[in-house]
Amino acid sequence: MQDDDFSIFWRNDAHAQGLFCDLLARSEQDAYDDAFLMQLAAYREAAPTSERADIFAAKYLLHHGDAENAAVCAERAREKRPLNYEIWKILAVAYKALYREMDSIDMQGLAYGLYLAPKLALSLTPSNLQEGLGRLTIALGHSLYAPTSESRAYVENGALCFRHDVFLGEALPLTMPAGSARFWSAVYTENAFLSDHSRLMEGLRHQESFIGYGHRDFLFDLQKATEVRGTAKIELPPGEEAILPIAGTVINQPLSVTTESLGTKEAYLGKWAFSFFRFSESATLHASEDAPYAVGTPIRLGHDPQRRKLVLNLFVDGLSWAVARSYAATHLPNVMRFFSRGVIFDQHFSTSEYTLPAHPAIETGYYPHHTQIFNEKAGYELPLHMTTIAEQMKAQGYYCAAPLASTHGVSHGVMRGFDRLIATGWTLNSVNAVDSAIRHLTAFDEADLFLFLHINDAHPYDALDFKFDTAVETHIPLAERIFNQKAPASAVRLPSLYIHQEQYLERIRQVDRNLGQLLSYLEQHFNEDEYLVNLYSDHGISIFNRNNTDAVDVISENSTCAAWMMRGAGVPEGRIVHDLTSTVDIYPTLGHLCGFPVNDDIDGCLPAIFGGTARDAAYSMSMFPGQTYKLAVRNHGHVLRLETREVLDEDGTVDFTDARVRIYPRGHELDENYAEDSADLRKFFYPRARDFVREIANNGEFWPAMRAARPTWFGGQL
């Protein structure tokens, strides 16, 4: 595909492309004959790693009535390209023919959610109605901020309908590993009347204003739980103690609790609100069968010397280390004081420019083109074989909880390993995070804890419609307070306005002030060998870029140089690491320090300071459907920058023919006056960049139906 002398970055295989086009033309004419098979065999030989051969094979088999083998081929293709319209259509038909109705619903939902076609054809019985409607809702991709949904499926008068709604007082219909309960969705109530928020939600759950905006400040309590009617048995081995979360579904719901020592006592539950009960012996729970109640996963008490008492992940959204590094002494004194006794990674880069693809990469150790979470419109769930950090920690015996987490991305499965999520669409500020964390540490101090806090104070937002901190608005000159901005901009493409920059600096100062309280609490209540604290960000920011034009560089160092600091058991003291690291390296590092197994095929690697091997390059990319694909490959001295001419397709593929490729010294990215070219630079960067994009490249082969649905992306050309 490429010349050995590195004179050309990418060259498509014209022979394979020609065979693909021929197969496509034949399939559009339903010409699934012997000649089609001969062409397919030739295409498999020419493109042995392409999923497109399996798609054509599945089309052939389905045409000839072999749904079983068609499903096998399509499933094999979907492992490589899970967000592909052609695959969804094949599997929807094949699964229905194989009486796999729920799986067919998933495929139909994915296709209809993006393309409004083909028309939904559901065959649901009363026994599987709710499950099927729930799975359809998630697959449609309109539940990005779960448990809220912009388009929840329901049946009225025998017809399929959709409305704004909240999954509340029920399980979220997400895929979970064998043996794991689903998240049961409740309102978050702490030191308050148990059913007040549920009463409020009854009036809000179908309102467009709440689902669109109001949910941002609402806290949900998502806990792994099983819904019960009538009686539930709680088995507890002698000598053990456990805490049990229990939630009701009606106001002041009576619950009888029977133990050998206490006999039968009565408690009361709130509607859609969890309460906690401590058990030191087996028990029987009973409530009227008129209303169900939810029994959470028991929280086992007791410390194990093989575990840390606390492993804490502090996810500071949008903290650019390239920017914060210069302000660390003045704006992050508490954070720097704490982590100066640990390790600070100074050349740490995110895989992506924004949260949706970056967070799964952190949680799994796989790049976004392997997790396939890059399209916020698609209701895609992380495959079960990609075990998350929380799942690994749960397997180690930790009680895994997120005292403050985002509802964004829950439906993608990234948070499935946690026992509990206190989740919100917006209110992720460090004040709430620290308070919630200390409450949690106090409440569950007898268990070994893995905690996750998502903090978004520093994350910048558009000055056009955002209320800035009063301390910012009162201190900047009027000329900087008033600006001419006609159209809104996404967070990753914000212009370098002074008010954006001052807001950012003020917010990281607040993050530091509040985290300082939490970090001091840890030092006061834990020995150094009892905890591990891991602070990191998912991406940087654009607002300090030198370029003050509309052409914002979304994968600049400011946008992708992320924070990563560690302190605690097993972490060297007082080290600043200048080796290149990536956000996918966090996963194997925690595996090393916490003792969980790490798959050989992950993209992350253990940093040299922990006994691993130093990276020779770090990769950051922008993979957004409808926009050009962009890649930065950095070593210590230089960076290769690539941008495709074509835009990324909905399935995450793009044509790399005529991609613009340049190499620059670090610090001078995209400055043509500094562009460098030499045989040695190409020899280093080209093979690495080629290997990285190989699974994204489509060889100029695309599916017309997908492009027809997005004519503005492709200039109307099919």
How, if at all, do strands 293-296 and 231-234 pair?
A: unpaired
Each residue's pLDDT tens digit, 613-667: 999 999 999 999 999 999 999 999 999 999 999 999 999 999 999 999 999 999 9
Work out whether strand 293-296 and strand 449-455 pair parallel, antiparallel, or are unpaired.
Answer: unpaired
What does the pLDDT read at residue 491?
85
Give exposure, 645-666, as e/b (b: 16+ Cβ within 10 Å): ebbbbbbbbbbbbebebbbbee
Predicted pLDDT of residue 338: 98
- Cα 507 to Cα 177: distance, rounded to the nearest angstrom: 38
Residue type, 423: A
What are the phi and psi torsion angles at 382 (to 5°)? -55, 130
For residues 184 and 274, what is the distance between their CA atoms, to the nearest angstrom? Answer: 10
The CA distance from 643 to 610, in Å, is 35
Q: Which of 514, 609, 574 is nearest to 314 (CA)?
A: 514
- What is the C-alpha to C-alpha distance for residues 411 and 617, in angstroms, rounded to an integer? 32
Q: What is the pLDDT of residues 394-427, one digit of tens each?
A: 999 999 999 999 999 899 999 999 999 999 998 8
Query: Which residues fall within 8 angstroms of residue 474, CB to CB, at 6 or more apart?
Result: none
CB neighbours of residue 353 within 10 Å: 30
Low-confidence ranges of the chain (pLDDT < 70): 1-5, 546-551, 716-718
pLDDT on residue 3 = 58
Q: Which pairing describes strands 183-187 and 220-228: parallel, antiparallel, or unpaired? A: antiparallel
> Which of 318-349 are b and which e, b meaning 16 or more Cβ less than 10 Å from the residue's Cβ?
bbbbbbbeeebeebbebbbebbeebbbbebbb
In DSSP notation, 77-140 reads HHHH-TT-HHHHHHHHHHHHHTT-HHHHHHHHHHHHHHH--SPP-----TTTHHHHHHHHHHHT
The half-sphere exposure of 104 on its side-chain side, counting CA atoms within 13 A, is 18
pLDDT of residue 488: 80
Question: Cα 454 from chain centroid?
Answer: 12
Confidence at residue 549, expressed as pLDDT on a 0 to 100 scale: 46
Q: What is the per-residue pLDDT across 19-76, written as a single tens digit (0 to 9) for each?
A: 999 999 999 999 999 999 999 999 999 999 999 999 999 999 999 999 999 999 999 9
Q: Summarize the chain as % helix, strand, coil (round to 5).
A: 35, 25, 40
Yes or no: say if 265 and 257 are a contact pair by the CB < 8 Å rule.
yes
Beta strands across the sheet bearing 231-234: 231-234, 283-286, 253-259, 263-269
User: Would you say 458 and 504 are in contact if contact means Cβ atoms under 8 Å apart?
Assistant: yes
- Distances in Å between the alpha carbon of 402 and those of 197, 199, 413? 20, 25, 14
7 SS3 class: coil
Q: Are 418 and 400 in contact (CB under 8 A)?
A: yes
Give pLDDT, residue 716.
Answer: 56
Q: What pLDDT score was predicted for residue 409?
A: 83
